[in-house]
Structure 1
Amino acid sequence: MATLAALACTPPVRAATPELRVLTHSSFNLPKPLLGEFERVAGVRLQLIKGGDAGEMLNKLILTRAKPIADVVFGIDNALWHKAHAANVLDPYDGPAARRPSVAEVGAGVVPVTYGFVNLNADKAWLAREKRSAPTNLLDLTRPEWAGKLVVPNPATSSPGLAFLLATVGGMGEEAAFAWWAQMRANGLKVVKGWSEAYYTEFSRNGGSRPLVVSYASSPAAEVFFSKEKTTEPPTLNLLLKGGVFRQVEGVALVRGGGQRAAAGQFIEFLRSPAVQQMLQTEMWMLPADKGAAPVAALAVVPTPTVVDNPFAETLAANSGQWVTRWTRTVLK
């Protein structure tokens, strides 16, 4: 038996720091000091689980719902919300952030964090080199001179890919949109898994062969911000074509069956805090959802789109699943 003296010299057993599991898409990014401050205040250790593009991330959440891999999820957007809602993988949150005024909504149970605009980006240097004017409508892209020039992320796995598909349906009508997609397949459209591959591998601005890419209206501003030459002129161009602009709203939610409820709620509040709402703008190049947050100067390089092609929320919720299935048959099979 241990003596009293030996027990007195034994260090006290300290409880392990609880872990908060946060599932995010691959583009989620915040500075380590800011995340560290959250950990200190909340008394947890963050485990950030990057789940791929948002569509892929949601698929993982659905496949693991019997044994959730996370306590809180960031990156469910207004294009994916209906799928998450139908799969019953989210729990409602009613803290202050859920009641704070937002400039846009995702869907019930999801607290809006950021919003932005998915559209086509063009490589200005390629246009100048080829002595081409930028296309002025989506039908231009079905012509022989634009064969093999566009790359898109797959809407089954990518949230910007899905957003662009929805914009074509919202702006052109379902039948005209799928006729356009069929023409694009015949005209050499390239499909990749996610936005990162489309933008950083296939886009001619980054060494690829495709001068047109599905990206964000904020992408030209990001190009200026990160330019080594410290240019003030974006090297890429927003096309903002009819049937090609989708207003995307991303949010954060509790995972049904997840743990660490108090800390998960604190993380939701953290993402709507003024510091994070400002920082996300130049870390993820999305606008702040909080009505009181001001856009940073870096985003003023390009104007915010004023016309979008989002289908009505009810129509989107009822049909987007079958639209993705139809798109897959039309473009990939």
Structure 2
Amino acid sequence: MALMFSLRRIVPLLLGLSAVALIVAACGDNDAPADDARTAADFAGEELVVLVHDSFAISAETIAAFEDQFDVTVTVVLTGDALEGLNRAILTKGNPEGDLLFGVDNISFVRALEADVFLPYRPAALDSIDESLIFDDSGHITPVNFGYVLFNFHKAALAQAGLSAPATLEQLALPDWSGRVAVQDPNTSSPGLQLMLVTIAYFGENGPYTWLDFWRDMRANDLIVSDNWTDAYYTQFSQYGGGAWLVNSYATSPPAEVIFAESPLDESPTGNVIVPGGSYRQVEGVGILRGTDKQPLAQAFIDFMLSDRFQSDIPLNMFVYPVVNGVPLPSEFLEFAQIPTEPAQIDADVVAANLERWLDEWTDVVLR
């Protein structure tokens, strides 16, 4: 969910890489835990550049706590979508535009490892993270947060139509939902990509009714396709005046509706469509970019990202879940964010081997 945020320094990522020399900088690998005894004297006056996708958000006070602790400046650079950020990191491998890259997830990390853009680092706080959230066994990418992509429904619209939330994905192609479902293009949107992967896992590529059969039926049922999450949610979704009663979004969108409501609410106006195998759990992580000359400071920042201070700041800024066990959640998350117990199971290696073909097939069926 894209949210506005403010840090001490945010700079736009410069366009055009033609002037960037792709020179591999000599830098030793080191996956030992950072020294807990590090002080401001070790880093005083240094600048740490953190590349992030546009949906990254954390409070200025939290970033300032790290800056003050080590007498450094943290510059956060927005790279667009998370996939765009990874592409740029690959293009500038060895001569990176920053010291850390945040936003590589439990699907895209396969490309990152193949391109060898990260240095290994295993923070001590990994012991406080559930093993199921640690998606990179090689120790190059540290998990930071996770969330669930699924369909939200507008309660008032369904009540007026006399409908209940769908219990299966197959129902979405029925006449009741004609012109009432909004999704994002997987070519341009991360949640759209994750939904596409969910349908591949849910329906399969072979058999009497495949994932492409589903999308053909959805197109015939007047599916609404947006380029991005913002348009799908704030323009197409009936909660905001659009025609779609269902929208591909996040499990934490309902509590966000309560938190940002103009008047206090006892109930969220939206709910989650809970379908076994019909959601996707995304885990996002951070890695140290190969070629940085700030490796020790980058390690210290990763340690900070797994601290209680940073982790507890994640839910109400990025509206996703912290990965460290025991971090308290906002009451709205506990009350209004129904968590899927059976998300889709997707093998990252299979995705890496087939993603381009799947995107082409989806585009042929849905858009052409």
After TM superposition, the score normalised by the length of structure 2 is 0.79
- Range with greater deviation from structure 2 (142-151 or 283-292): 142-151
CA contact (8 A) 1:54 1:158 kept: no
Q: d(CA) in 2 for partners of 1:190 and 1:56? A: 24
Question: What do residues 43-65 of structure 1 show as CA deviations (whole Å, max 9, x unaligned)?
Answer: 32222112223233323333443
Question: What do residues 224-275 of structure 1 show as CA deviations (whole Å, max 9, x unaligned)?
Answer: 1222221121111111224421111111111222332122112211111011
The aligned residue for residue 90 of structure 1 is: 118
Q: d(CA) in 2 for partners of 1:182 and 1:86? A: 34
Q: Match of 1:59, as an amino acid?
A: N
The aligned residue for residue 343 of structure 2 is: 308
The aligned residue for residue 288 of structure 2 is: 254
- Higher helix fraction (1 or 2): 1
The aligned residue for residue 330 of structure 1 is: 365
Q: Does the alignment pair 1:298 with 2:327? A: no
CA contact (8 A) 1:151 1:203 kept: yes
CA contact (8 A) 1:97 1:111 kept: no
The aligned residue for residue 139 of structure 1 is: 170
1:179-328 equivalence runs, <5 A: 179-301=213-335, 302-328=337-363
| 3-state SS of paired residue (1:304) | coil
Q: Match of 1:105, as an amino acid?
A: I
CA contact (8 A) 1:122 1:236 kept: yes
| 3-state SS of paired residue (1:62) | helix
CA contact (8 A) 1:102 1:112 kept: no
What is the Cα-based RMSD across aligned positions, in Å?
2.3
| 3-state SS of paired residue (1:174) | coil
Quick one: percent identity of the two aligned structures? 38
Q: Match of 2:101, as an amino acid?
A: V
After TM superposition, the runs of 4+ consecutive aligned structure 1 residues lying more than 4 A away are: none
Deviation, 1:321, is 4.0
Residue 130 of structure 2 is aligned with which of 98, 102, 115?
102
Q: Match of 1:238, as an amino acid?
A: N
Structure 2 gaps of 5+ residues are 1-42
Q: Does the alignment pair 1:21 with 2:49? A: yes
After TM superposition, the score normalised by the length of structure 1 is 0.87
The aligned residue for residue 115 of structure 1 is: 146
The aligned residue for residue 69 of structure 1 is: 97
- Cα gap change, 1:126/1:62 in structure 2, threshold over 3 Å: closer, same or farther? farther
Greater Rg over alpha carbons, structure: 1
| 3-state SS of paired residue (1:315) | helix
Q: d(CA) in 2 for partners of 1:52 and 1:244? A: 27
